[in-house]
Amino acid sequence: MTGFDAFLHDGGELTCEGTPLSRIARQAGTPSYVYSRRAIRDSYHRLKDAFARVDPLICYSLKANDNLSLLRVLQEEGSGFDVVSGGELFRLQRIGADPRRIVFSGVGKTVQEMEMALEWGLFSINVESRQELETLARVSRRMGREARVAVRINPDVDAGTHPYIATGLHQHKFGVETDQIDDLLEIIENSPEIRLVGLGYHIGSQILDVQPFLDAFERLREGADRIRDRGFPLEHLDLGGGLGISYQGETGPDLQRYAGALAQTGEGYRIVMEPGRYLVGNAGVLLTRVLYRKTNRGKVFLVVDAAMTDLLRPSLYGARHQILPVRPDRSWITADVVGPVCESGDFLARGQRVPDAHPGDLLAVMSAGAYGFVLSSNYNSRRRAAEVLVDGDEWREIRVRESFEDLVRGEPLP
């Protein structure tokens, strides 16, 4: 089963694992994110099975969706984690995650975040610049703690994805250029508290073609061999995330081919992966209700109660999500689905085939499990949505909708 199969029209309406979305909307309200536990578990195991030959350490990337209950689901399946901030580390401490299965990525770690990472003894801290490495060496010396370090290289490969989510070219801020690695090795040689354990890349997100991964991996492997030749006992290669999913019927990257290449070219190294979107993207929908239907010079707008503040991807990347009716007895029209926020960029769909819905109708914005809630904001003093996790024939709120009081907490008046 793919994540998408958890959401099916059944008995005259859209359901999640058999639970009618209308029932969830009635009790939890709208807009709400609804996730399928089964779909998350299935995608984790689909990935694990596809790469069984190389038995990778799968470190779910929290940035895709960091709700504690989803982290718990993945933890129970045996997943490790990839974080990029002290806040994400704090979340993992909350669920009692195993620090030896956590990698810390990101281009701008602060001293405080380094202290947290060293205190907890993570599997690896992935550094992205000479200055970051020098700072980490200073902090670990002061704390008397060894830092397990991986260097993220910039492999200069074009991932063929949206420019905002491509990260592996020279013009991007990420990673260390391969010709600067010698500099970093020199620092490591002179820093007994730094132990170089890995080399990695992350070339971008929502990548559908496997070739850029293969190109990047070949460069990574060559770089790793050179580092080993210089006497550093490198243990692992970290492939980052980036595996694309189907939003509108796209075919994802050929995992078998990727796994085959890793088995062949990666021999002698432990493989680490940091998937985010792949594990949760198709396991969630954004449930929203139509407020109004209006026409401007023949153009139809469905005004719904969710907005760019709930799901930013369409505004930010021009991303297209399928929008399905909760009751499938609607015809289809070409329309814009827009939110109540005072921005022309506030849309969930633009000129897209969507259900010909009317006020009161429920719509499901599909494939919203990754980079959905986490990118939401309080712009226009909108309260952030509720989140619901469906598990078989049970469901529960895993995040309570914000209240008006929540909006002003932390704003004392004199």
Ligand X SMILES: Cc1ncc(COP(=O)(O)O)c(C=O)c1O
What is the set of active-site residues? 342
Distance of closest approach, residue 227 Cβ to ligand X, in angstroms: 20
Say if CB 309 and CB 376 are below 8 A apart. Answer: yes
Tell the residue number behind the tokens 């023949």, with chain if given: 298
Separation of alpha carbons 94 and 89, rounded Å: 9
Give me Rg for the CA atoms of the chain: 22
Among positions 157-196, residues that touch ligand X (CB under 6 A) are none
Bridge partners, 248 (sequence order): none
The minimum distance between CB 187 and ligand X, in angstroms, equals: 22
Q: Pick from 275, 325, 369, 372: which binds ligand X (CB under 6 A)?
A: 275
Segment near ligand X (CB under 6 A); pick from 90-98, 129-137, 241-249, 346-354: 241-249
Q: How far is the CB of 241 from ligand X (least distance, A)?
A: 2
80 binds ligand X (CB under 6 A): no
Please tell me whether residue 205 binds ligand X under the rule CB under 6 A: yes
Q: Is 151 exposed, middle or buried (0-12, 13-18, 19+ CB in 10 A)?
A: buried
Q: Which stretch binds ligand X (CB under 6 A): 12-20, 184-192, 275-283, 400-408?
A: 275-283
Options 57-65, 93-101, 190-198, 394-402: segment touching ligand X (CB under 6 A): 57-65
372 interacts with ligand X by CB under 6 A: no
Kindly indicate which of the ranges 36-44, 108-116, 272-280, 404-412 contains the residues binding ligand X, using the contact rule CB under 6 A. 272-280
What lies within 8 Å, CB to CB, of 97 at 6+ separation is 71, 75, 80, 81
Name which of 241 and 339 has its Cβ closer to ligand X. Answer: 241
Q: Tell me if 202 contacts ligand X by CB under 6 A.
A: yes
- Cβ-based burial of 190 (10 A; exposed 0-12, middle 13-18, buried ≥19): exposed
Cα separation, 205 vs 165, in Å, equals 5
Tell me the H-state helices in 7-151.
21-28, 37-50, 68-77, 86-94, 111-120, 130-143
Q: Map residue 18 onto helix, strand or coil.
A: coil
Mask: binding to ligand X, 15-54, rule CB under 6 A, as x and -?
Answer: ----------------------------------------
Q: Which stretch binds ligand X (CB under 6 A): 20-28, 270-278, 313-321, 353-361?
A: 270-278
Smallest distance, ligand X to C-beta of residue 69, A: 19
Q: How far is CA 347 from the centre of its chain?
A: 21
Distance CA 376, CA 331 (A): 30
Specify whether the CB–CB gap between 237 and 199 falls below 8 A. Answer: yes
Find the shortest distance in angstroms from Cβ 396 to ligand X. Answer: 25
Non-local (6+) Cβ contacts of 183 within 8 A are 130
CA dihedral 69, 70, 71, 76 (to 10 degrees): 90
Q: Which is nearer to ligand X, 13 or 254 (CB)?
A: 254
- Binding flag, residue 242, ligand X (CB under 6 A): yes
Smallest distance from the beta carbon of 245 to ligand X, in angstroms? Answer: 9
Phi, psi of 24 (to 5 degrees): -65, -40
CA-based nearest residue to 58, from 40, 35, 34, 39: 40
Chain center to CA of 196: 26
Report if residue 81 touches ligand X, rule: CB under 6 A: no
Q: What angle do CA 150, 266, 190 make, to 5 degrees?
A: 30
Our finding on whether 223 is near ligand X (CB under 6 A) is no
105 binds ligand X (CB under 6 A): yes
Q: Residue 155 or 275: which CB sits closer to ligand X?
A: 275
Query: Which residue in the set 168, 240, 355, 369 belongs to the binding site for ligand X (CB under 6 A)?
Result: 240
Q: Cα(189)–Cα(28) distance, rounded to whole angstroms?
A: 56
Q: Which two tokens stand for residue 274?
A: 């940091």
Compare residues 255 and 291 and give the one whose CB is closer to ligand X.
Answer: 255
> Residue 313 interacts with ligand X (CB under 6 A)?
no
Binding-site member from 38, 101, 277, 384 for ligand X (CB under 6 A) = 277
Nearer to ligand X, 60 or 347 (CB): 60
Indicate whether 88 belongs to the interface with ligand X (CB under 6 A).
Answer: no
| Complex with ligand X: residue 4 or 201, whichever CB lies closer | 201
Stretch that binds ligand X, among 178-186, 219-227, 240-248, 343-351 (CB under 6 A): 240-248
Angle at 322 between CA 317 and CA 327, to 5 degrees: 145
Q: Is 278 a binder of ligand X (CB under 6 A)? A: yes
Binding site for ligand X (CB under 6 A): 61, 63-64, 82, 105, 202, 205, 240-243, 274-278, 370
